[in-house]
Amino acid sequence: MSELPDCLYCREDQRLHDLMIKVAPLSTSTLYLFKEQTHRGRCVVAYHGHVNELFELPDAELIRFTQDVARAARAIKAAVQAKKINYGAYSDKLPHLHMHLVPKFEGGAAWGAPFEMMPAAKQFLAAADYAALIESIRQRL
């Protein structure tokens, strides 16, 4: 068995746990909730394999990954009553295919503009609030 790349999604190590909470496994990926919640319900869908680009996926996997993203976005939008979900796939600094799902609220943070990855004024929740939000998303998956 080969060694895993030094990637927080592949290793699911402390770096990942410091940033996110696992919500649920999906067809070809895993859904995580960001601990930083300026955008209530902000999550990431991380592909199971270590690839960096959508075009690296075989067609069937690309379809399944896209379906995972849509399924998660639908659940998040319903759970938090967002006006819009923004999608972001960057991987500049973390070369692993993952899609940010960022709920946006009219009049809320970064409405009509790109979201900040790590805003200066970070918002965190109490443990019970994370648990309730995660359960609400899971029920809608």
Of 105, 132, 101, 104, the closest CA to residue 31 belongs to: 101
State the pLDDT at residue 1: 40
Tens-digit pLDDT profile for residues 14-59 = 999 999 999 999 999 999 999 999 999 999 999 999 999 999 999 9
Question: Could you read off the pLDDT of 106-120 as tens digits, one per residue?
Answer: 999 999 998 988 888
**What pLDDT was estimated at residue 19?**
97
Q: Please give the pLDDT value at position 118.
A: 84
CATH number assigned to the domain covering 8-108+119-140: 3.30.428.10
List 29's β-bridge partners, or say none: 47
DSSP state of 70: H
Other beta carbons within 10 Å of 113: 9
139: phi then psi, degrees, rounded to nearest 5: -60, -25
The number of residues in the chain equals 141
Tell me what the pLDDT averaged over the chain comes to: 95
